[in-house]
Amino acid sequence: MKTFKLETQTDANGNLFLDLKTDFKSKKMEVLIVVQETEKTSKYNFTNIIGKLEWNGDPLAEQKKIRAEWD
């Protein structure tokens, strides 16, 4: 058994076409396809605000206050 990884894209109708070179010549085989979407969500880049936010107060006290709201 061999594992192949191929990134490809479907056409406008949702059809997927695979063109993958293998070492198997004229062989009968069973193929398993696992589909995972590869769209990456862009995460916000916070580097422009590093060091610009100031915190006044006790962080532990604020955390306890917020947790007390759950009770």
| The pLDDT of residue 13 | 93
**Closest Cα to residue 8, out of 29, 38, 42?**
38
The structure's pTM equals: 0.38
* pLDDT averaged per 10 residues, the chain (length 71): 82 88 88 79 78 83 88 75
